[in-house]
Chains A and B, each alone.
Chain A
């Protein structure tokens, strides 16, 4: 500590920084030189040839060198001299202030969410609001809901589930198949697909009860892939990779959102637009997401919620205290899966089309990333992470003005997942406990206090 502060006082060590920068430059050029600088492409005769684009590679190398130099010269010494200031335990006053802040932020956010579609209609007009309500509002809320659902499994019960998207798929296909084959309404099928997904959660949960940590993660990943592969290959049942199309839309008390005389627009003498349906869907998913949040918050206060958190901290201690770990784990799986099932049936109704393409492993990884980046167990954190990650990557689609700068071939959309992955790694390095890393224990002795996420053993069991 003393040494580093001395170094900071003496000014940055440019010699060492230059050496670091040179070394990382060499490595960066060795890696980016071939991968970026020598692009393989097919020519007119359909032969694969190498195109020389070393300029790009040199540019990336220069950025790496400059970045590494700045890091070594200024950022790392600054971090070292600042030292560790994180406090593990906060005082009751700080806790009260923090929880009041959280409550105010949550209330403000809720109010904003309730008026959001009307705000968009006011700003962009009825037709212009579709994009903002659909691509941003609904899309983000679906992931908030999935994040909150998975938060029960990962954040509360500490079971790392990499196959969560399988339950989302179960919900989506349940709605799609039952609605088409049996002509049932969305409002009957919504709870039904939740129940079906919960059953699948239990079926898949049973065999993995004995596993913990990484092994559990891999097995759930395998289950997720098995369900997807079965959906692709069992063509008579699920339509294979072509998927199922023309899934019925949701109705509001029997009112259809279409151009028919009994449709929503005609009934209220409004001009025909798909925006009303989008706004309706927005409120539907908002209600579903809030239901998830409400149920989670209440469950945390029930014995089962306490048991989940105890299980996360120490499974052996749990068992010796007489908690039935089998039931505890199964309920976590089943309830988490149930919310994914709700979200899935909503997804199917919104898209009007489902195919196994929507349920790849990457989706699971995105949901897990949202839960972990938000700070496992923190509802606010998960919501923030979903807004940042999904909203941020959706925003990338809007950056077409960059084409003016980088030329017409530039497509910001293709950097979406790349940036997503980088953000995952960067957040883990900078804040391994996620955006919101303080925890308030559910059960308290004597006084309420918040503890740092470092003291919580999330995801161990």
Chain B
């Protein structure tokens, strides 16, 4: 549905993107992670045709954004961090003006979308009177008019309160569930990406340093919290199986080794096992790790 191939971009001689590629499948929620200045917004700008890449291309729904921008963006909706509306106009007028750039405004569709995002009561008020949460709802409404198939979200939950973040997340997940919406989610909020995204790419200084499946990533790391007695004897057995003591009470096992084999060996050696719990590595752990290392080998993905 969205194919980004070999993007290169420099600003004033400084590289902003270097050979960034990824593909977002239909109905997938794809996260683009990275620190400020990593190139996430530049990538989004290129996808929307706002920024011209030095090399590379973007295809949306089979149309090349560089050559057929209008067709490519016909089924795209976008939301930005702190969306800037025309403050002196009402929410309704903003919707009408923005939708007219997509070809036409349908009042019934607009009313339905406004109701879905929960803005019906305030849609005729001036935007300058809106809270941040209401602006984000209006941003969502404009992105959903008219009927997109791809949503591009650039830090959409920044500045929202926890309730707003929860509402927004559920809304986007609902769009995917009910309509098969394809979503590209730019964020530096790792928790949000972990909850929402199927796959994730991590950008660092304009380069893609990782791409993989969020769930596999989190579940594939054989680290365990253990409480074993006697500890010395347990350490010998763990070492004998190729494991490592990361710190007292925390061990890592070689990839592919069934943890049950270690447990059996410990039991056979009369080591008491009070705890042997797998540590689920969070996306944050992973992100910090690869930011320290500079790159990571992606785990196997489909």
Genuine A/B complex: no
Taking beta carbons and an 8 Å cutoff, which residues of A are in contact with B?
none
